[in-house]
Amino acid sequence: MVRSFDATPVDPEWLDALCATAMWAPTAGNSAGVRMHTIIHSMLPEYLAVATDDATARRSRRFEGLARAGAAVLVTSRAQDYVRRYCEPDKAGSGLDEASAWPIPYWHTDAAMATMALLLLIEEGGWAATIWGNFRHEAEVLEWAGIEGESLFATVLVGRPDGRDEVSPSLTRVVPSRVERVRRV
């Protein structure tokens, strides 16, 4: 994840095509309940004004670098698409005909898979990105973007790194190695 960008605009057609490719990620029952909404460079200040507030921006040591992203992608999901799909005859016996019946809401899982695919495609394309989780201002962001009937999963900020990214303190935590987190049954 890169959290300090150099303000180079991202080609919107290229980003739209990447988002469409990222949609090849798995989707439960082929429900197709994930959406991606691209925000061009010139619209980022307006988006950020809605997605955050002055106090949060002032507290964040990274906000200035994030604000110089070249584009953004809102990743959303539609729980109703999954419920509707699992009411169809070939899935009706699953007992997943209501959102509350899902022990793991796959609309979030599928949004995460598509987001990961997008992050990898951005990197493969020679750009950088970071995922900005949906922690606040969801309703305002969705209204600003004209999105109805969807839940905001995350925002992916895209751009060219400026070399001033601060290393995350999370990286100093002692955690089990990748190898230690793999277990053969």
CB 178 within 8 A of CB 18: no
* Structural domains of the chain, with CATH: 12-181 (3.40.109.10)
In this predicted structure, which of 10-14, 25-29, 37-41, 162-166 has the lowest mean pLDDT?
162-166
Question: Which residues neighbour 150 within 8 Å (Cβ) at sequence distance 6 or greater?
Answer: 35, 76, 77, 78, 142
Give the helix/strand (H/E) hosting 154.
strand 151-159
pLDDT in tens, 64-99: 899 999 999 999 999 999 999 999 999 989 999 999
The residue to which tokens 């005859």 are assigned: 89
